[in-house]
Amino acid sequence: MMKVRSLFILVFLLIGILACQSTKNNFTDKKTNAQKFSIAIHGGAGDMKKEWMSDSLQEAYKAKLTEAIQAGHEILAKEGTAIEAVQAAINILEDSPLFNAGKGAVLNHLEKPELDASIMEGKTLNAGAVAGVSKIKNPIDLAIEVMNNSGHVMLAGAGAEQFAVEQGFELVPESYFITENRLKAVRAAKKSHSAVLSDEIINKMGTVGCVALDRYGNLAAGTSTGGINNKRYGRIGDSPIIGAGTYANNKTCAVSSTGAGEYYIRGTVAYDMSALMEYAGLSVQEAAEKVIHEKQPQLGGSGGLIAMDNKGRISMEFNTSGMFRASMDEEGNLEVKIFK
Amino acid sequence: MMKVRSLFILVFLLIGILACQSTKNNFTDKKTNAQKFSIAIHGGAGDMKKEWMSDSLQEAYKAKLTEAIQAGHEILAKEGTAIEAVQAAINILEDSPLFNAGKGAVLNHLEKPELDASIMEGKTLNAGAVAGVSKIKNPIDLAIEVMNNSGHVMLAGAGAEQFAVEQGFELVPESYFITENRLKAVRAAKKSHSAVLSDEIINKMGTVGCVALDRYGNLAAGTSTGGINNKRYGRIGDSPIIGAGTYANNKTCAVSSTGAGEYYIRGTVAYDMSALMEYAGLSVQEAAEKVIHEKQPQLGGSGGLIAMDNKGRISMEFNTSGMFRASMDEEGNLEVKIFK
């Protein structure tokens, strides 16, 4: 009888100790999570060779990436939300003619801009997207407006612009977006009857995106693009597709991808990252390697992605020779890179 | 020494037996797989009550579902492909004014049709989609054309129609699609300033879709819809989104979903089915139950889906009170249902 009682006491003691341990761990985790914040951006992946880019052009890209990530980082540091940080960083890249989004986006076959963007919030799984807009200065802002105030997830073309006007957005003339370089590129592509020129492959990619984790432990992801040079037929790529170009879920990760959009849609790339983490138990880095170096090449797709898990760990993988990218952690440690 | 030798012989014998067994199983599996074919269709899920539908209307729905599934089944029996079967079945549903796709689709705020469709092939992961077309008699045909001959996955609006013309499609006038019932419904909704009328909730859903497994062991899925009654702003729902409304992968399953499109996009429903099977080891039925009865209700989404695994096993789940649906196996066993 004594032996049985002793055993009971021992078991209860053990349960007690384990419970305390578990509470302690949970508490530590939550605390760490609530304080930690992190941000990463990309400005597109592609087969860019160092010799194609002058040192000064490389410096210009790096300076703009730095400006964008610092803007997002500052918001996170001041206890802003991940959505606000993603918006601020993407706005700066959209406003720069260096990237294929907003001002300086590639032009379609009619020599007009046709812009796509999407956003997703990891806490609520709320999402917003716009496709084929040509009069919205910052398409990511309209994607956020769609998410918050339309009752829909995805609006396209003139309808999306009508919604924008009703929500108080100012329209800009199409000429705002058009740069001399992009005009040359689309005219050259039209002459050669191709959507991309091999020596100007940089025109193919250059989508911008951002992932962030805020002090509240919430993830967000956003993507903005002009699509592909000389595109026709109202083509929609992966950037405005939730699950392909953009995905965020506090359970797993936030993802923004950049690459050959058709392959990224077929691979449901952004949600696949989340599914590999949630269902197959992969880390964000393992998932990114699987998607970018195994699954996409098997399909025939080239490009890259940036991803962040709910602890702020960042993965930036690409199977091309370069990807404009930057990351910055809580301590302000900055990394800005173009090539491998 | 003898003992060790005996042990080796025993191990080799065991390996030999197991290898034979495994080869035999593989062979049987392949044979069964190559012969088996199966098809399922849906005509939309919604909160439809029996008392809202006269017996004759129920019979009309069942007759059209039967006609559609038999057309697809006949193609599979004659060794046609899963894509051909999906197309044939969906064409019949698109041509019928009973369903919210093709002729008789719901109308947008401007009292015009705005149709979406998508298709995916499980063997190649090739996919095609069109969004916001209003002059294409059978949007699923154009989605197949996009998949096979555009170099893209998704085309929208007037651009998609221009592609169609260049590929030899005939355009139909918008009046072709418009029925008296749908006109009444959109005008009533405009008066009441809502996208849906509670007593005409049937107008909200009614998307059509098909999944099939052919004699070659290949899966395919397709979806076609008019979206939601009185929709505005170029709204795109889940139906033309690969990974949300439609997905097919020979590794796992083919899926066509129908429901509150915004929630289905945010849940990446169709690809989630595949990921739950591939990464979490769920059966097609378990995956469908998880998505439709757990994950979608958590998000707030109502609707259903049809799914088929690569052995031809069918799941048709919905969290509404009804879903127009039918299935037919190799032996021609037909099941046609509307309510639970």
Could you report the predicted ipTM of this complex, rounded to two decimals? 0.89
A and B: number of Cβ contacts within 8 A? 139
Give the C-alpha separation, B87 to B85, whole Å.
5
Is A143 an interface residue toward B (CB < 8 Å)? no
Name the residue among A153, A262, A271 with its Cβ closest to that of B243.
A271
Evaluate whether A255 touches A125 at the Cβ level (below 8 Å).
no
Whole-number pLDDT of residue A192: 82
Helix (H) or strand (E) holding B73, with range, is helix B55-77
- Which chain B residue's Cα is nearest to A267? B125
pLDDT at B164 over 80: yes
Beta carbons of A301 and A38 less than 8 angstroms apart:
no
- The CA distance from A167 to A245, in Å, is 25
> Would the CB atoms of A157 and B153 count as touching at under 8 Å?
no
Q: Which residue of A has its CA nearest to B127?
A: A266
Q: Is B234 within 8 Å of chain A by CB? A: yes
d(CA A278, CA A280): 6
Domain A38-45+54-330 has CATH 3.60.20.30: yes
Q: How far apart are CA A157 and CA A202, in angstroms?
A: 26
Q: Looking at the complex, does the CB of residue B287 fall below 8 Å from at least one CB of chain A? A: no
Residues of A with Cβ-Cβ distance to B122 under 8 angstroms:
none
Question: Which residue of A126, A244, A266 is in closest CB contact with B125?
Answer: A266
Rounded to the nearest angstrom, the minimum Cα separation between A248 and chain B is: 10
Confidence of residue B10 (pLDDT cuts 50, 70, 90): low
Contact list in A for residue B232 (CB cut-off 8 A) is 159, 162-163
Classify the C-alpha dihedral B2-B8-B9-B14 as positive or negative.
positive
* Tens-digit pLDDT profile for residues B86-123: 999 999 999 999 999 999 999 999 999 999 999 999 99
- Across chain B, what does the average pLDDT equal? 90
Q: What is the rounded CA–CA span in Å between residue B181 and residue B141?
A: 25
Q: CB contact, 8 Å: A275 with chain B?
A: yes
Q: Residue B141 has what pLDDT?
A: 98
Q: Could you say which of B131, B152, B158 has the minimum Cβ distance to residue A262? A: B152
Identity of the residue in A150, A234, A275 whose CB atom sits nearest the CB atom of B155: A234
Whole-number pLDDT of residue B9: 57
Per residue of chain A (340 residues), give pLDDT as tens: 445 566 555 555 555 444 444 443 433 333 444 579 999 999 999 888 888 889 999 999 999 999 999 999 999 999 999 999 999 999 999 999 999 999 999 999 999 999 999 999 999 999 999 999 999 999 999 999 999 999 999 999 999 999 999 999 999 999 999 999 999 999 998 888 665 444 444 445 789 999 999 999 999 999 999 999 999 999 999 999 999 999 999 999 999 999 989 999 999 999 999 999 999 999 999 999 999 999 999 999 999 999 999 999 999 999 999 999 999 988 889 999 999 8
Query: From CA B133, how far away is CA B153, in angstroms rounded?
Result: 15
Alpha helices for B96-156 (secondary structure H): 139-149
Lowest mean pLDDT among A114-118, A162-166, B132-136, B227-231: B227-231
Helix (H, G, I), strand (E, B) or coil at A203: helix
Asked if B265 is an interface residue toward chain A (Cβ–Cβ < 8 A), one would say yes
- Which residue in B44, B131, B39, B145 sits closest to B85, CA to CA? B39
Mean per-residue pLDDT, B263-279 = 98
pTM: 0.89
Residue B271 Cα, gap to closest chain A Cα (Å): 7
Tokens at residue B208, please?
């059509």
Reported confidence tier of residue B131, pLDDT bands at 50, 70, 90: very high
Chain A residue closest in CA terms to B131: A156
Residue (of A148, A122, A158) closest to A246 by Cα position: A122
**Which B residues 152-171 touch A at CB under 8 Å?**
152-160, 162-163
* Band of residue B198 on the pLDDT scale cut at 50, 70, 90: very low
Instruction: Please tell me the predicted confidence (pLDDT) of residue B227.
Output: 94
Distance of CA A230 to the CA centre of its chain: 23
* Active site (catalytic) residues of B: 207
Residue B315 scores a pLDDT above 60: yes
Q: Which two tokens stand for residue A177?
A: 């977006």
- The pLDDT, as a whole number, for residue B52 is 81
Whether B201 and B46 have beta carbons less than 8 Å apart is answered as yes
A156 to B127: CB separation less than 8 angstroms, yes or no: no
pLDDT at res. A24: 39
Classify the C-alpha dihedral B103-B104-B106-B107 as positive or negative: positive
Return the exposure string of B211-229: e unless at least 16 CB atoms fall within 10 Å of the residue's CB, then b: bbbbbebbbbbbbbbbbbb
- pLDDT, residue A310, reads 97
Please check whether residue A233 touches B, CB under 8 A: yes
On the question of pLDDT at B202 being above 70, the answer is no
Yes or no: say if B242 and B129 are a contact pair by the CB < 8 Å rule. yes
- Beta bridge mates, B240: none
- CA pair distance B186, B194, nearest whole angstrom: 9
Q: Could you write out the DSSP letters of every residue in B186-247? A: HHHHHHTT-SS-GGGGGGT---EEEEEE-TTS-EEEEEEE--STT--TTEE-STTSBTTTEE
The per-residue pLDDT for range A283-338, each reduced to its tens digit, is 999 999 999 999 999 999 999 999 999 999 999 999 999 999 999 988 889 999 99
Confidence of residue B331 (pLDDT cuts 50, 70, 90): confident
The whole-angstrom distance between B207's CA and the closest CA on chain A is 17
